Amino acid sequence: MREYLITLLVAAGVTYLTTPVARRFAMRVGALTVVRDRDVHTIPTPRLGGLAMFLGVGAALLVASRLPTLEAVNQRFLEPRALLFGGLIVVVIGALDDRFGLDAVTKLAGQVLAAAVVVLQGVQLLWLPIPAYGTLILGQDWSVILTVTFIVVVINAVNFIDGLDGLAAGIVGIAALAFFALSYQMSAELHLSRALPPLLLAVVVAGVCIGFLPHNFHPARVFMGDSGSMLIGLLLAAATVSLTGQVSPADQYQQYGTFLPLLLPFVVLFVPFADLVAAVVRRTRAGRVPWAPDKQHLHHRLLELGHSQRRAVLIMYGWSAIFSAGVVGLAITQAPMVVAAAAGAVVVLALLGLGLPRLRAARAGRAE
């Protein structure tokens, strides 16, 4: 655990210290987010925060490779090298988009290329649980197709929620910490080594998000841009895939029940996935392409209800934290009441988020 803490602190520290450099570079090359109708910021803001985040990832993986326990991850597994190559691709594509504005097809092609690089180096889904069937062992072709699809979906889910200061970094950071707890518990239950790629990748993602947040929380001095959102989405997706490859289906069933192990990592990402699915359905029903921008994301709706940017972000942090804690609690205790309690807490938090602006407006009306 001590070495994971060191790795997290290195990722956070390097990201925090290099973000101002990335900000100045963005201003020099003109990589600014102009004010558009769908945006909530009011002044042009530098992007390219993903460059600092990638430096944080590289520094953390380098330090981890020199630590006595975690060096085994680099010696036994391909994930760290695969993620550096794949991460470099999405950062370059994202940086070009941050500066010049790429079309959606070009960005998607870059995401598929990065995911393919990661997958072809061994980071793959090997099996899936199928209701009323059991375990489906994936052949090589289906393994590649499904893994690339999953990685691309997660990348875009993170990219879709990057609409308020600090929102994407905070939610992904929460998801990464919850995923680390899940992976650590599973490795303990199944008597696996603590030096595993999903654990390492999770703390690296959490570290770069923590290091970036002080610069990005409202009012943001710099945005992560597509270079950052696609990077942390890629890393988090790869950590999820890597976890499923560490244990056999039989071991997971014996310890956790039928479908829980594979579903848990996906459910931790409930908030960005829900926003992504809602956006695709909404835009398709309106006769538009799924990637067409609009102002109807979850965070936009919270702002319309009267919340400030900070409060809207904190509400969504709360949703993510409660849901993640409930899912991890279920994995640890095997008690369905844990999930029921977490779901109830999410409902209460949602109702408070919807009702507080109306209560304030009513009080203001009575005061007048």
Asked whether residue 57 carries a pLDDT value surpassing 90, the answer given is yes
What was the pLDDT predicted at 342?
56
Percent of the chain exceeding pLDDT 90 equals 34
Query: Higher pLDDT residue, 165 or 59?
Result: 59
What was the pLDDT predicted at 182?
82
| Range of lowest pLDDT (164-173, 246-255, 352-361) | 352-361
Dihedral of CA atoms 103, 107, 108, 111 in degrees, nearest 10, equals 180
Measured from the Cβ of residue 24, the count of other Cβ atoms closer than 10 Å reads: 13
Asked whether residue 99 carries a pLDDT value surpassing 50, the answer given is yes
What was the pLDDT predicted at 84?
92
pLDDT digits (tens, 9 = 90+) for 147-161: 999 999 889 888 877
Query: Higher pLDDT residue, 109 or 1?
Result: 109
What was the pLDDT predicted at 223?
93
Asked whether residue 76 carries a pLDDT value surpassing 90, the answer given is no
Dihedral of CA atoms 173, 175, 181, 187 in degrees, nearest 10, equals -120
Distance CA 144, CA 132 (A): 24
Asked whether residue 351 carries a pLDDT value surpassing 60, the answer given is no
Confidence grade of residue 264 (pLDDT, cut at 50, 70, 90) = low
Distance CA 200, CA 77 (A): 11
10-19, 193-202, 248-257, 273-282: range with highest mean pLDDT: 10-19
Query: Higher pLDDT residue, 280 or 85?
Result: 85
In sequence order, what E strands does 228-286 have?
A: none
pLDDT digits (tens, 9 = 90+) for 242-260: 877 766 666 655 555 445 5
Q: Give the CA radius of gyration of the chain.
A: 20
Query: Higher pLDDT residue, 313 or 345?
Result: 313
Element (H, E) at 102: none
User: In terms of Cα–Cα distance, which of 109, 117, 86, 96 is closest to 235?
Assistant: 86
What's the average model confidence in pLDDT over 272-298?
74
What was the pLDDT predicted at 75?
73
Query: Higher pLDDT residue, 258 or 106?
Result: 106
What was the pLDDT predicted at 337?
53
Query: Higher pLDDT residue, 130 or 74?
Result: 74
What's the average model confidence in pLDDT over 347-366?
52
Confidence grade of residue 366 (pLDDT, cut at 50, 70, 90) = very low
Confidence grade of residue 362 (pLDDT, cut at 50, 70, 90) = very low
Distance CA 214, CA 222 (A): 10
Distance CA 315, CA 360 (A): 17
Looking up tokens 């375990």 gives: 135
Asked whether residue 130 carries a pLDDT value surpassing 50, the answer given is yes
